[in-house]
Amino acid sequence: MKKKISLRVIKRISFYYEALLKLNLSDDLYISSIKLEEITGVSSNQIRQDFFYLGISIGKQKKGYQIKRLFNELKKVLPIDRRVDVIIIGAGRLGCCLSEYKLFEVRHINVVALFDVKEELISKAEERGSHCAPIHHIDKLDGFLSEHPNIKIALLTLPENSAQEMLNKLVKLGIKGIVNFAPKILKIPEYAEDVQIVNDCIGASLYKVIYQIYNKA
């Protein structure tokens, strides 16, 4: 087990990666932390601090970092060009949206299937293009995971009242990582401490903006 890395650092690494992707990877191109700040918005101090923390020390004074090498170093940290198969539990609007999310494609995240309790969503699945991931009934989850033992990650796009229950079930079925999009902090049962969870409610951040604007004066 390597060093633990916080969510914040992971996010920034993915931003660095995204930025480098758009640059030329020819051998003699360098980028300084200041230039990388301009592209990613992360301060140059923060960038160098991150690299230091991650053990990336390939910079040259007066030049910066060779783009190609930096790119490779970041890939060592984040397995970002490795294809990762995931499933989505909850085939509502958000679930379907995420199943076709562009950024997921770029990052090689592959949504294999969605699951839901609602029959109407499953029958509606045919309307979706053939390029889309299929929607199955939640009862088929158990069998599906047995047939696809490589799937270790599930995204939860369920209402908050059923989210924790589903998480417990997923853990029992052997899922090792979960991203929860409900406005509630889900916890991993004690008997499964190796399972990873991140709670990431979309739109909660909008309230920060609303608060600042409508609470003035």
What residues between 59 and 78 interact with DNA by CB under 7 A?
59-65
- Write out the DSSP string of 74-130: HHHHS-TTS-EEEEEE--SHHHHHHHT-HHHHHTTEEEEEEEES-HHHHHHGGGS-T
Least distance CB 65 / DNA (angstroms): 6
Check binding of 15 to a second copy (CB under 8 A).
yes
Q: Select the binding partner of residue 71 from DNA, a second copy, none (C-beta < 5 to 8 A, by kind).
A: none
**Cβ closest to a second copy, residue 52 vs residue 101:** 101
* Among the listed residues 175, 176, 171, the one whose alpha carbon sits nearest the alpha carbon of residue 189: 171
**Cβ closest to a second copy, residue 60 vs residue 204:** 204
Q: How far apart are CA 49 and CA 71, in angstroms?
A: 17
Burial of 39 (0-12, 13-18, 19+ CB in 10 A): middle
Q: How far apart are CA 144 and CA 124, in angstroms?
A: 20
Residues in the chain: 217
Check binding of 204 to a second copy (CB under 8 A).
yes
Q: Considering only residues 43 through 82, tell me which ones interact with a second copy, judged by CB under 8 A.
A: 77-80, 82
* Total chain residues near a second copy (CB under 8 A): 72
**Cβ closest to DNA, residue 12 vs residue 152:** 12
Q: Considering only residues 21 through 50, tell me which ones interact with a second copy, judged by CB under 8 A.
A: 22, 39-42
Check binding of 198 to DNA (CB under 7 A).
no
